[in-house]
Each structure stands twice: as structure tokens, then as C-alpha cells.
Amino acid sequence: MVLSKCGEEFELYAAKIAGKWKGRIFIFGAGIRGKELYRELSAYPAQIEMKFIDNDAGKIGTVYEDAEIISLAEYLQLNEADRGIIVIAIAQADAVAAVEEQLANCGLQHREYYFTDTEFQNEVFPIISLYCYDKSYVSLAQISLTERCTLKCKKCAHACYAVDIASDDMPLEEAYRSVDCFFSKVDFIGEFVLIGGEPLLYKELSKVITYIGDKYRKQIGLFTITTNGTIIPSEEVIRACSKANVMFRISNYSKAIPRLKISLDRLTAYLSKYGILYVLGKPDGEWKDYGFEYVNRKASSGELITVFDQCKTPCREMRGNRFYFCVMARTVSDNLRYHVGEDDYLDFDKLNGTEYKKELLKFNLGYSEKGYLDMCNFCHGAESINYPIPVAEQLI
Ligand code: SF4
Ligand code: SF4
């Protein structure tokens, strides 16, 4: 979106969202995703009242941590004043569609009464956080400590297949500087991700985890590491993870690479032994091809604004003083040496005015002077769902 269009219209939208806020949400779905959202927002520095709605009769009437689980019928019996935004937090797209139909049948309209968790975290709560609590909020951001990897996926969305296993990682001081810059402007982040490449290849990983945990853990909902499951972390890393309450998100590529089954079993057993939380991905499914290696839209700036606006990627990245809207755009451009969009970032060092939180909010919602990233010219963007590809197919 183009920044110049972001005036009165944005203020009206923000005022409408903030005006709806009653300090309370109803998370539809008391499963893995709903509970993650609950844990994220429980850590937020202002109290948010949360309840779950679920269709499972076995869950209704029970509690998760401090949150009651009620039925939709019970929600509908509440007075308007006792209701709140419903957030659908369910992973499977068909189950989300079924809940949307259920809500529509009860007269609850999308974006009036309910949002999906992606919409809530990326579009709605950043506004609520600033306008109702004066806190800058980012739903998810990553720091790529290394772009080396133990696998060579043909369609790695960060093009890590092009990175030599002997190449240099981010220096430790740069990792510290990146998180310091980020947290100097961001009051709270829903999920802070250590990523790669394969982040467990990073030699100073325990130091980075300890640094972030000691200085910034209170500003983080979920602190996670995304790993491909090929490496067993050292005891030092495990101790740091345990102290900083780090959760592992383990990709499951065992269908494409059967030998990984043994590593995944070993890793999950090891994490369980030390009481480290993890989520193991499902072996099925498919990836979508962004087409960075062959797409060249040769599009006008107007067309690229549309591509960018339809994409809405939630994957921000911090790197030194630079805050990138799209981690894929930055990594692919660097790793394939495209040198495209090298200025497409927000400079934390220049966010100094009294309105810096609003500037950050607008960037995070996708507003910029240009209205798109140069790499959008080389990407299928939202159309990538029409280009399904096998998961983790290897180059060698
Ligand atoms: S495991 Fe992940 S980071 Fe490594 S090459 Fe595959 S997709 Fe890329
Ligand atoms: S369309 Fe642009 S913002 Fe979206 S994934 Fe592609 S490069 Fe990133």
C-alpha cells in the first residue's frame, strides 16, 4: 500500500477497530493453534481477558489455564457488553471455513464480529496495541543467524541451497545489535523466531538465546527456533532454551527424506527428556512455489502494488538496523545475488520522531512510499497457491 493513501482513511479504520475493543477476545478453537495464541497474549504487558469457544462437547465446560471453554450457543447468550472479538484459531483451512459458515448462520459477520487469527495478529491487534495501550506490537519476526543448512531443498523459500556450507554466519555482535535495534522500537512481539538456514548450525546459538532471554523475554510471547530436525542441540543450547522458555518448531520432511524419521524421533525424545516444548510438523502436505528463480513480471509499479497488497506475508525479518517486510525477498535476493530491493527496509535508526510507533505500525501493515518491494516483480506472491510443489525435494 502506498503511504500517501494512508491518511484519513487509515485513521478512520484504526478508530473503528480501537472503538470495538473491550479488552477481551474469544478464541474459537481450543486446539494447538488456539492455545498458542492464548500463551502469546497472556504474556502481553496489559491484561487481555480470554475465553475459548469450541464445538467439542468434551472440551466445553472445562478450562485451559485460566480460560473457560464455552460453546457458541453460550457466547450468543451473552449481552453485547460481555462479548468481544472472536478470533478463529484453527490450522486446517476446511475447518476454518466450516466455523465461518457456522458464525455467518448466527448472524456474526466477518470483520465485524470475527477475524481469523492471521488477520487478528497481523492487522487488528497491532492497531489495538498502539491505539488502546500505546505499545508497538509485531506479530512475528525472525532473525536469520545463518543461511547455511544441512539440507538442500530445491525450492527453499530462502534460497539457502545456494549458500556454501563453509560460508560465514551472522557475527555474534551483529546478532546482538539486531535484537537491540528491534526491541528499542518494538514493545512486544507475538512470536520471535530464530531461523536459518538451519539455526542449530550457528556456533554461538546458546549465547544468542541467553542474551535475548535475559534482556527481552518479557517482550516476547512465544520464543521459538525453527529447525529441520537434522541436528541434536548441545546441552549448552538446551540449558539456554530451558531458561528462556524456548519452543522448537520442527519441520517434518520425513516423507521426502525417509532417513529423517530417525533424527526426528531422536530429537523429539531428547527435547521431551529435558522438558523443552516442541511442535512437530505433519509429514504430509505441499509447499507453494514463489517462483523466485524464474518469474519476471516486468510489471508496472501499479501492478506491483496490487501484487504486494494481495500477498500480505506475515514474515518480517530484523538484520542490524534494518527491518524487512518480507524475509523471503531479502534472503533470496542476497543468496542468489540478485541485488534487487536492497533499500526495501525500514531503518530502525531513523525511527526517532515522537510518532515513531505509528510509523512502525504503518510499515508493519504494509504501507510504504513505493507501495511494494522490488522483489515482488520476481515472485508469484498470493498466486503461489496455484503452484503447489512437493515438500523438501532435494537437489542432491
Ligand atoms: S531445510 Fe529449510 S532452510 Fe534448509 S534448505 Fe530446506 S527449506 Fe531451506
Ligand atoms: S509478493 Fe513480495 S512481499 Fe509477497 S512474498 Fe513475494 S516478494 Fe515477498
Residue 334 is assigned to a structural domain of this protein:
yes
Residues 254, 151 share a domain: yes
| CATH number for the domain that contains residue 276 | 3.20.20.70
156 and 303 both lie in a single domain: yes
Q: In which domain, by residue range, is 85 found?
A: 3-132
Same domain, 54 and 159: no
171 with 237, same domain: the answer is yes
Q: What is the DSSP string of 232-262?
A: PPPHHHHHHHHHHTEEEEE---TTTSTTHHH
Task: Say whether pTM exceeds 0.75.
Answer: yes
69 and 218 both lie in a single domain = no
Cell numbers of 316, please?
A: 518480517
The CATH number that applies at residue 43 is 3.40.50.20
The best mutation among 148, 158, 231 to test binding of ligand 1, ranked by most ligand atoms within 8 Å of the C-beta, falls on 158
Residue at 299: amino acid letter: A
Helix axes 125-133, 8-20, angle to 10 degrees: 80
Question: Quick one: 119 and 155 in the same domain?
Answer: no
Q: Report which DSSP code applies to 192.
A: E
Cα(171)–Cα(280) distance, integer angstroms: 29
Q: What's the gap in Å between 184 CA and the centre of ligand 2?
A: 26
Whether 226 and 374 share a structural domain: yes
Has residue 395 been placed in a domain? no
H or E stretch covering 68: strand 67-70
Do residues 283 and 304 share a domain? Answer: yes
pLDDT of 6 reads 73
**Domains of the chain: total:** 2
Q: Does the Cβ of 200 fall within 6 Å of ligand 1?
A: no
Say if CB 195 and CB 227 are below 8 A apart.
no
Share of the chain above pLDDT 90, in %: 94
Q: Alpha carbon of 316 to those of 149, 174, 269: distances in Å? A: 20, 17, 31
Render pLDDT for 268-311 as a digit per residue (tens, 0 to 9).
999 999 999 999 999 988 999 999 999 999 999 999 999 999 99
Give pLDDT, residue 36.
96
Under the banding of pLDDT at 50, 70 and 90, the label for residue 137 is: very high
Of 87, 107, 132, which residue sits at a domain end? 132
- Report which protein residue has its CA nearest ligand 2's atom 7: 376
Is there a domain that residue 53 lies in?
A: yes
Q: What is the predicted pLDDT for the residue at 42? A: 97
Measured from CB, residues less than 6 Å from any atom of ligand 2 are: 290, 307-308, 311, 313, 326, 328-329, 373, 375-376, 379, 381
pLDDT, average across residues 188-194: 98
How long is the chain? 396
Count the neighbouring beta carbons within 10 Å of the beta carbon of residue 32.
11
156 lines ligand 1 (CB under 6 A): yes
Residues 188 and 287 in one domain: yes
Residue 279 pairs in a beta bridge with 249
**Are 109 and 149 contained in the same domain?**
no
Q: Which of 116, 143, 178, 135 is nearest to 44 (CA)?
A: 135
Residue 96 lies in a domain: yes
Cα-flanking dihedrals φ and ψ of residue 216, to 5°? -130, 5
Grid cell 518494538 is found at 186
Read off φ and ψ for residue 71, nearest 5 degrees. Answer: -90, 165
